Structure 1
Amino acid sequence: MKITKILPVVFSLLLVSPVFAQQKNTFKPQKAVLNTISANIMDADAQYKYLAKQIKPEEFPKTFHPETGKMENSNSGWWCSGFYPGTLLELYGQNHDEALKTEADRIMGVLAKEQFNTHTHDLGFMMYCSFGTANKLQPKPEYKQILLNSAKSLSTRFNPTVGCIKSWDSKKSDFLVIIDNMMNLELLFWATRETGDSSFYKIAVTHANTTIKNHYRPGFSSYHVINYNAETGAVQEKKTAQGFANESAWARGQAWGLYGFTVMYRETKDKKYLDQANNIAKFLLNNPNLPADKIPYWDFNATNIPNALRDASAAAIMASALLELCRYTGKTDAQTYFKTGETIIKTLSLPTYKAKPETNGGFILQHSVGHFPAGTEIDVPLTYADYYFVEAMERYKGFAGK
């Protein structure tokens, strides 16, 4: 990779962004919700200690099947491997329970080798949610090196002709990119800040720009998968893998986009990304198929609504994204986003979604949907639902100065 140093003036320009001017919005967290969050964090601490007992030393929790009472775990190469240590660390940051930090350190020792994995686009999920969280809590040179190696590995999947990072390896004529990949760009921004090497930054921006151009429909819903020609960059297919249909709005995919473009604005201060995030948010929040409790159906166009399954993971991602986006946008939208994030936290805290202690395999939330068309991870707990739920609660507490 060619090393290009970012001029200091670039960083100084980023510091005088409109984001700070827009933080005049006053948000008033409800005391009752703050109390609920405190209880949730205590319960989650106990749950994750219980969850730690359900896995073998080299395993990562994947899901739990309530109908059979069986755990399903994975190895470190599974795209969700970073969420378990990430959640442990986020909880540790809230309650300082050393047992959580000890378990996170142990499992990150198993995960560390994935820093050299060049066969996945999910290194942001895997390594930034884990080692990135650890480095925020307690910076260490070894964490930074692992993260930098991860960013380098992720960058090898970038094709400048296509203008994207490849998501899934496939036949040579395909170059598959999924909307989920927006979530892995934060790692690249971190790498540029840490090293001054603008190559990572340029890859992230190019990928995001290509995604705006090709993934989004006029109404700001997103396709799940775009298949490009690797040699020409031409779009060959627009389709789904995990959604209901090629032209449907798969709920978690819409949430990934919302979160991803919010991060893009935070990291670049480029208004086009703020506009994109706002437009995605309005597609979601104004959608006639979004239930009043703000927990979306697994696909906004599922044909059996209102009897379609809900997806707690999509809701948790939405809540976390909205509780950041509300800091950057105009007052009216900001209040809507804040209140929606608050509503999602309140709903997910109810017994319908929040599991009882030492049930649900040790996961915090119930009722997520992984890959409905494939018949896998349907109406089960998922590690990323827990991760973004905890993150959303942290962000809500931040408005109260906690």
Structure 2
Amino acid sequence: MINLINPKRIFLILLIAFSTIGFTNAQKPNIRKTLKHAEQQTDLMLSEIEKADDKNGTLVSPRTLENGELKLVASKDWTSGFFPGELWYLFELTKDEKWKTEAQKFTSKIEEEKLNGKTHDMGFKVYNSFGNGYRLTKDNHYKEVIIQSAKTLATRFNPIVGAIRSWDHNADKWDFPVIIDNMLNLELLFEATKLTGDSTFYKIAVSHANTTLKNHFRPDFSTYHVIGYNPKTGEVVKKNTHQGYSDASAWARGMGWALYGYTMCYRETKDPKYLEQAKNIEKFIFSHKNMPSDLVPYWDFDAPQIPQEPKDVSAAAIYASALYELSAYTNNKNYIAKANKIMKSINKKYSAALGEKRGFILDHSTGSKPHNGEVDVPLSYADYYYLEALVRYKNIKNQQPVIQ
């Protein structure tokens, strides 16, 4: 006897199955529309930069808005490399030489940082600018800057601790602080080994990743923001936050640095423990009871006044970019679906209105709520990771490697 199945039930089963592997076309990012908005806003940003006070050329990149006015920063600021990186991504997405010219112009303003050994933020500053520039142009000078920057960053590595020192400030709180953000600077070191054949940089990056893996995470795979070490013994002395709600809370952007960092470390090493860590971090983020339905998180998952707390679009953009890459190593279409949903949510509710916000692409990010700094404002790194996510989505859509 033939079993007849209700057609409505078949449709329901197929619908549920489809929803687990991807989004409909209406729910996927609209590359053309998104890119047009980004280009128009960035054109405005370039004109606003021309009008802004650059303190006799000492301020080189936009960071945020203060009282509605464009805030530019010096090359030593940890955010200085994001705007050049955005311009490189626009060039990659459009092939328009205009963006290449602007990218080269703003990238050149960061070069002096290759010798600045007073900060760990070499990846954010140099790799996002010169690194993207080298990837797209193979300019030999850019290669030299990357290598020198990696040499400078390596001077901050303490072999006893097994990690790179993050800050030189706040010496009254930490003798040797390491922040989860520092994971994003390891990509520069991995690249330096590929460019030189010198494994020293690779070994430092792996050591830092392993030390962070050992000491930064709680049993639920949430991360502390700051770990304070004894630089003479390598002992963990303190586990704190600086920008999160509390020492025990899950700071949303910190979770993004962790997800992105260990996904990237797996790409560079193929060490399965990094992939497993990234998957566990992803599970924490997206199964958390305080994750909103639009997948754009509040600034801290444990902030006390949720849902009245401000969102952090920069964290969401980092999640999206990391998820697109993570999907390539797991063949998990749910990661793509979540990233797509984030991108659609950002486009719908968190983009800057055309012609507004001095040319920033996105709005509603949070820099440091505990210090009442940069709360519910545009931030350059939100725009950067948003465009990076768009590049990665386009590569997936075109059935090309996510990272090129």
Q: Same fold (TM over 0.5)?
A: yes
Deviation at 1:76, TM superposition (A): 0.7
Supply the AA of the counterpart residue of 1:49. Answer: D
- How do 1:1-400 residues align onto structure 2 when only pairs under 5 Å count? 30-32=24-26, 36-55=30-49, 56=54, 57=57, 58-65=59-66, 68-170=67-169, 171=171, 174-329=175-330, 331=331, 334-350=332-348, 352-400=349-397
- How many residue pairs end up in the alignment? 371
Cα distance in 1 between the residues matched to 2:45 and 2:83:
10
Cα distance in 2 between the residues matched to 1:178 and 1:35:
32
Asked which structure has the greater CA Rg, the reply is 2
Q: Which moved more, 1:152-161 or 1:102-111?
A: 102-111
Cα distance in 1 between the residues matched to 2:225 and 2:297:
17
Supply the AA of the counterpart residue of 1:273. Answer: Y
CA offsets 1:67-92 (integer angstroms, 9 cap, x no match) = x3211111111001110000011011
Answer yes or no: is the 8 Å Cα contact 2:28–2:344 preserved in 1: no
Long gaps (5+) in structure 1: 1-25
Cα distance in 1 between the residues matched to 2:182 and 2:340:
26
Deviation at 1:29, TM superposition (A): 6.6
Answer yes or no: is the 8 Å Cα contact 1:36–1:349 preserved in 2: no
In structure 2, relative to structure 1, the CA distance for the partners of 1:29 and 1:394 (3 Å cut) is farther
RMSD: 1.6
Cα distance in 2 between the residues matched to 1:255 and 1:28:
22
Deviation at 1:95, TM superposition (A): 0.9
Q: Which moved more, 1:31-40 or 1:200-209?
A: 31-40
Deviation at 1:96, TM superposition (A): 2.2
Deviation at 1:28, TM superposition (A): 5.7
Q: Which moved more, 1:90-99 or 1:80-89?
A: 90-99
Per the normalisation by structure 1, the TM-score is 0.89
Q: Helix, strand or coil for the counterpart of 1:328?
A: helix
Deviation at 1:284, TM superposition (A): 0.4
Q: Helix, strand or coil for the counterpart of 1:206?
A: helix
Cα distance in 2 between the residues matched to 1:312 and 1:147:
29
Deviation at 1:139, TM superposition (A): 0.4
Cα distance in 2 between the residues matched to 1:38 and 1:28:
20
Q: Which moved more, 1:37-46 or 1:198-207?
A: 37-46
Q: Helix, strand or coil for the counterpart of 1:61?
A: strand
Supply the AA of the counterpart residue of 1:373. Answer: P
Deviation at 1:356, TM superposition (A): 1.6
Cα distance in 1 between the residues matched to 2:340 and 2:180:
25
Cα distance in 2 between the residues matched to 1:64 and 1:358:
14
Deviation at 1:34, TM superposition (A): 5.6
Deviation at 1:361, TM superposition (A): 1.5
Cα distance in 1 between the residues matched to 2:147 and 2:362:
32
Answer yes or no: is the 8 Å Cα contact 2:181–2:257 preserved in 1: yes
Supply the AA of the counterpart residue of 2:244. Answer: G
Cα distance in 2 between the residues matched to 1:102 and 1:34:
31
Supply the AA of the counterpart residue of 2:385. Answer: Y
Deviation at 1:59, TM superposition (A): 2.5
Aligned to 1:19: none
Q: Helix, strand or coil for the counterpart of 1:309?
A: coil
Per the normalisation by structure 2, the TM-score is 0.89
Q: Helix, strand or coil for the counterpart of 2:33?
A: helix
Q: Which moved more, 1:82-91 or 1:97-106?
A: 97-106
Answer yes or no: is the 8 Å Cα contact 1:293–1:347 preserved in 2: yes
Q: Could you tell me the percent identity over the aligned residues?
A: 49
Cα distance in 1 between the residues matched to 2:197 and 2:106:
30
Answer yes or no: is the 8 Å Cα contact 1:80–1:383 preserved in 2: yes
Answer yes or no: is the 8 Å Cα contact 1:29–1:399 preserved in 2: no
Cα distance in 1 between the residues matched to 2:321 and 2:178:
24
Deviation at 1:140, TM superposition (A): 1.1
CA offsets 1:133-159 (integer angstroms, 9 cap, x no match) = 111111011000000001111100000
Cα distance in 2 between the residues matched to 1:104 and 1:227:
37
